[in-house]
Chains A and B, each alone.
Chain A
Amino acid sequence: MSQLQARFFTENKKYVVDDVPFSIPAASEVQDLSNVINKLLEAKNASHTTVEFDFLVRGLFLRTQLSSHMETEGISTEDVVEIEYVERLTAPEPEECMMHDDWISSVAADSEWILTGSYDKTARIWSVEGKAVMTVAGHSDVVKDVAWVKRDGLTSLLLTASLDQTLLLWEWNSERNKVKARHCCRGHTGSVDTVATDPTGSKFCSGSWDKMLKIWSAVPTDEADEVEEPGDRPRKKQKTQQLGLTRTPLMTLSGHNEAVSSVLWCDSEEVCSASWDHTIRMWDVETGEMKTTLTGSKVFNCISYSPLCRRLASGSTDRHIRLWDPRTKDGSLVLLSLTSHTGWVTAVKWAPSHEHQLVSGSLDNLVKLWDTRSCKAPLYDLAAHEDKVFCVDWTESGLMLSGGADNKLYTYRSSACQMDVGA
């Protein structure tokens, strides 16, 4: 059996081995290499307990035999192979299951609290441990998206976007557990499907089925904005629907030809929106102009941006997750396609603290955890849901969240996540 010269290295100080080339069988797989490292570590440190490792050859996870991997990647077997090893991410296990009354349309996680929007026209606040804290009711139709705005000590600002064409800005006092609608944001003429708060928490952007993006101020005030109401609108109805002070948009960004499905802030000046017209557009918030357009071939359902790797991930109706570089001018260039889902990808989210990891949810009832270094297959399939998955998110502590049409919000915890957070 042929042998290969390999040198092992790792970022993790805990598991460093000597920096000398080892001769290892070319046919060895991940488990074999993991055993080798464990042997070495045991030889170095008697108190070492066996740890499963994953191996990266030139930035790609080893998933097959070492020789075949190197053959497919075109790596010479004559030289000494540099192999990085990291502690293997253990399979995330569903930790909590939060039952809702209706389908969960959206989820937004804080470090402490989880905000979910539901098809029962309410938003709910949960603690990370899965305790229902608050039900925010006020919309006259399905809540399509939710977002946290800001937390000042015990009071938090949160946003709900609804099919009834309005967004509500709520103020929630976690100590007294009181929620109050501060502003009712009117202006969209279609269901508001997505909302995103800017990094500073002073503005937010909403995207709607009416093809518009609107920028709003997120700062609560005590004055209602002037709203031009049609004259023949029944007074009575207006009164009953009125909840909080009316707010009008600061700016309207129009350019999409179809419904806007997802919106996010790349930084405090740039908004990125995905639409059913097969495009992702970047907007300059200061001027209100469109900067660049990335054109795909299918409807985009969701996008997510990671400031760590500066990549945009999009989920679309053709089952693929695509990674884009938003800074390219001409756009349209897909860096990577992650293909494993069998239904529409309805949600995708980058890990807040990990450069390579993202989680995706799909209509095929699966949540998948991806590592961009292993683009052929996801790291793990999380098959907890019994129905369509509509939303996924990460907490700042690395907890994964997913909600869907089975009325359940699951939280998943992975050992390595904690480790990463701790490190």
Chain B
Amino acid sequence: MEESSKRSEQRKEMEKERKKGEKKRRKEEEEEEEEILIFNHKSAEKEKEDEDLSDSEDSVFSGLEDSGSDSEDDDDDDEDLKVDQNLSQQEEEEEEEEEDVQSSLKKKDEEEEVKRDEYEHDSSDEEDIRNTVGNIPMEWYKDFPHIGYDLDGKKIYKPIRNKDELDDFLDKMENPDYWRTVQDKQTGSDVVLSDEQVELVKRLQRGQFGDVNFNEYQPQVEFFTQEVMLHPVTNRPADKRSFIPSLLEKDKVSKLVHAIKMGWIKPRRDSRDDSRGRYYDLWASEDTSNLARHRMHLPAPKIPLPGHHESYNPPPEYLFTDEERALWEQQDPVDRKFPFVPRSFSSLRLVPAFPRFIHERFERCLDLYLCPRQRKMRVNVNPEDLIPKLPKPKDLQPFPTTQSLVYRGHSGLVRSISVSPSGQWLASGSDDGSVRFWEICSSRCLKTVQVGGAVKSVAWNPNPSVCLLAVALDSAVLILSPALADRQVVLSSDRLLSAPQEAEPIEGDGLVNWSDTEGEELNQGIRLKIQHPKAVQQVAWHTKGDYLASVMPDHSSHLQVLIHQVSRRRSQNPFRKNKGLVQSVSFHPIRPYFFVATQRSVRIYNLVKQDLTKKLHANSKWISSMAVHPGGDHVICGSYDCKLSWFDLDLSTKPYRMLRHHRKAVRSVAYHRLYPLFASAADDGSIIVCHGTVYNDLLQNPLIVPVKVLRGHVITHELGVLDVTFHPTQPWIFSSGADATIRLFT
């Protein structure tokens, strides 16, 4: 019904337009309107008929027939039929409508051209019945007075065109319908287009359907859907071929099968195989851990299933006897076999509420919550694996292992020992005021020199061609010639001592006083006495055996170290400033360097350039002793805070390794001249021998392995081992202690 109302509105508009149009053409227009409307829906037709008092209420086509019948000719019957066909086609095939509309438009034009009288001939769109020249370019008739021929063969004359340009212009200005006036080329007459025609043209220009009422988007009727219809769309019986196997296909298949069997055709490869090679499985290795996690999973503990005891009416054997009940009551709740007493009820109705329900649920929750749900992966780290791989001490032999000889004879603590370069003699200085010379292999004391004061330090001249011993006591340094060597050696050492007679007056500053000894002292072998201004703590020889350094520790003075040249009897103070309390000094075994150990650091001076080369920081509070590796590139320092620090001079000024094996103050450290050994002696009475291989390769750090703890010295007056030194050629170590003994470990 909405549709109908719409159409009525349309129609009203049309009526307005019609009123605007010329009155003389009203009838024609009505006819045209009819015609146009005829093309449209029959409902519209009906309304129009209602309004226009048209005669028929029949079919869609009746109106046309009517109109046709208006100007009926006998000839036109078949043409009417054609129109019928056209219309029926329009209805059926909406897609092809445009052409038809155009043709109908053309038809209308023709209608207007011929006006009323020509109208009846206007039933064919194939051929213009008014002009029979056909579809030719009309300029061919340009020069003729006629424009063609009618059906009777008479000339159709061109309408008289007497309008000039001015008339045309005036017409253009004055005629309101000028814009809609077109010339019909077929007849040469002017045609004024009606409103409907103009509208139609506009619509066609816009690309719309010529018919206003035509709905382009009519709902489609789906015939072939997935829905099973009640009735078949077609009534045709199924083809025979749909149920008879095709012989052609059979033939084709057999050929293919044969070809596959013969190997002419390779079956298509499985696409999955293909993908396996082409794509990388990103997670292939990953899910093992995931699986492991699942494997380690522990399921929650299960609740034990109820047994007969839990029954509301258990057999009597499950019920407690009196003793059992008494036992149950006595027992701890933890020890009880059941957390309840089995009871019997005649019926389930009588069973009371379970009093322990909340408790039991709570315990179950605790079970679930406290039970470990995953197996703990404990990483078993073997503590042995964390220890760095060091060679076994067994593989680092030889090193001293056992105490072999004890040199007894001193009555005071033995402060210092020194082995002769030949390895035959051992000199020791003690607090009892004597220096003793021992034969190493038999522990025989062959010589005792009373020097009349506590001996602080003894040092054997490292030059094998002389046999001299420097002894530090009180404020003097004595040079002893023990005459324990070959005559030649004794003579050469005598020569060394007696040479500088002429140089004597030059000796410097009055700091020290060189003097020859006489009488008893000379008989004992004391050859020279170098009187120092202060107490001397240590003496150290240069490798060549001519220079001798002595240490006089003093906080306040820069005069702490003196270097003496024995052959020229000269002494000099190498330092102008006090850099700290000097503990120990040493000459570099090869190069002209001089090591000075103060309380906290070791300074290395270049004796040629006379400047400080390096300063080593021992991370210790108070250095007690120092030893220089025979290669000259390594230094060890013992300190009173129980530490031993190894410096690699090529590596750093910080200790390469700190060894804290001693329990008390380290008193002395020593390197072996040939074997890769070093040792430290401490107040705890122990000597720790370490293996210390030094590599020529600069990239390889020294290998330090503690190999042996040697004990033997008795701790007296809180003092243990005071000095330690290696045999020059054998892997033997000598130690002197506060118990007045010297011990040899081999």
Contact = CB atoms under 8 A, between A and B. Distances in A.
A363 B488 contact: no
B729 interface: yes
A344 interface: yes
Question: Which of A103, A209, A390 has the most C-beta atoms of chain B within 10 angstroms of its own C-beta?
Answer: A209
A55 interface: no
Interface in A228-264: 230, 232-233, 258-259, 261
B486 A189 contact: yes
A232 B424 contact: no
A230 B491 contact: yes
A299 B441 CA distance: 11
Contacts of A405: 442-444
A266 to B, nearest CB: 25
A119 B438 CA distance: 13
Nearest to A211: B422
A217 B446 CA distance: 31
A317 B424 CA distance: 15
A200 interface: no
A103 B442 contact: yes
A190 B486 contact: yes
Contact of B729 (A142, A258, A317): A258
Contacts of B730: 276, 299
Q: Chain A at the B interface: mostly helix, strand, loop or mixed?
A: loop
B129 interface: no
Interface in B421-455: 422-424, 439, 441-444, 446
B398 interface: yes
A388 interface: yes
Given A103-B444, A259-B424, A363-B404, A189 B746 contact: no
Contacts of B485: 190
B399 to A, nearest CB: 12
A209 B424 contact: yes
Nearest to A237: B487
A388 B424 contact: no
A346 to B, nearest CB: 8
B36 interface: no
B319 interface: no
B405 interface: yes
A200 to B, nearest CB: 31
A232 B487 CA distance: 11
A390 B404 contact: no
Contact of B398 (A103, A259, A261, A297): A297
B442 A210 contact: no
A103 B402 CA distance: 24
Given A165-B486, A343-B404, A388-B442, A209 B422 contact: yes
A191 B424 contact: yes
Interface string A312-332: 000001110000000000000
Contact of B746 (A103, A191, A209, A344): A344
B404 A317 contact: yes
B444 A232 contact: no
Interface in B456-503: 485-488, 491
Given A103-B442, A276-B730, A189 B404 contact: no
B442 A390 contact: yes
Given A258-B729, A276-B730, A344-B404, A317 B486 contact: no
A105 interface: yes
A230 B442 contact: no
A190 B484 CA distance: 9
Interface in A352-376: 363
- Contact-residue size bin, chain B (C-beta under 8 Å from the other chain): 20 to 34
B730 to A, nearest CB: 6
Interface in B267-324: none
A189 B488 contact: yes
Contacts of B746: 299, 317-318, 344
Interface string A386-402: 00101000000000000
B153 to A, nearest CB: 151
A292 to B, nearest CB: 23
B343 to A, nearest CB: 72
A367 B402 CA distance: 20
Interface in A284-331: 297-299, 301, 317-319
A390 B439 CA distance: 14
A119 B444 contact: yes
A182 to B, nearest CB: 22
A388 B422 contact: no
Contacts of B442: 103, 105, 388, 390, 405
Interface string B401-415: 010110000000000
Contacts of A301: 441
B484 to A, nearest CB: 9
Question: Which of B439, B442, B446, B486 has the most C-beta atoms of chain A within 10 angstroms of its own C-beta?
Answer: B442
A318 B398 CA distance: 11
B84 to A, nearest CB: 134
Contacts of A297: 397-398
A388 B443 contact: yes
Nearest to B446: A142
A401 B487 CA distance: 35
Contacts of B487: 165, 189, 230, 233
Interface string B664-683: 00000000000000000000
Contact of A363 (B405, B444, B446): B405
Nearest to A193: B441
Interface string A202-231: 000000011000000000000000000010
A327 to B, nearest CB: 28
Nearest to B397: A297
A52 B487 CA distance: 59
Question: Which of B398, B405, B443, B746 has the most C-beta atoms of chain A within 10 angstroms of its own C-beta?
Answer: B746
Nearest to B404: A344
Contacts of A105: 442
A189 B467 CA distance: 13
A343 B397 CA distance: 18
Interface in B696-746: 729-730, 746
B455 to A, nearest CB: 25
A191 B441 CA distance: 12
Contacts of B423: 258-259, 276
A118 to B, nearest CB: 11
B488 A190 contact: no
B489 to A, nearest CB: 8
A210 B443 CA distance: 20
Nearest to B730: A299
A119 B423 CA distance: 20
B486 A232 contact: no
Contacts of A163: 439, 446
Nearest to B495: A232
Nearest to A259: B424
Nearest to A190: B486
A232 B422 CA distance: 25
Contacts of B404: 317, 343-344, 363
Contacts of B405: 344, 363
A299 B424 CA distance: 13
Contacts of B398: 297-298
Interface string A25-58: 0000000000000000000000000000000000
Contacts of A261: 441
Interface of A: 103, 105, 119, 142, 163, 165, 189-191, 209-210, 230, 232-233, 258-259, 261, 276, 297-299, 301, 317-319, 343-344, 363, 388, 390, 405
26 contacts: A103-B444, A142-B444, A163-B439, A163-B446, A165-B486, A189-B486, A189-B487, A190-B422, A190-B424, A190-B486, A209-B422, A209-B424, A230-B487, A232-B491, A233-B487, A259-B423, A261-B441, A276-B729, A276-B730, A299-B730, A301-B441, A317-B746, A318-B746, A319-B402, A363-B405, A388-B442
Given A276-B729, A344-B404, A344-B746, 5 more contacts: A105-B442, A189-B487, A191-B424, A297-B398, A405-B443
User: 6 shortest A-B CB distances, which residue pairs?
Assistant: A189-B486, A317-B746, A344-B404, A209-B424, A299-B730, A258-B729
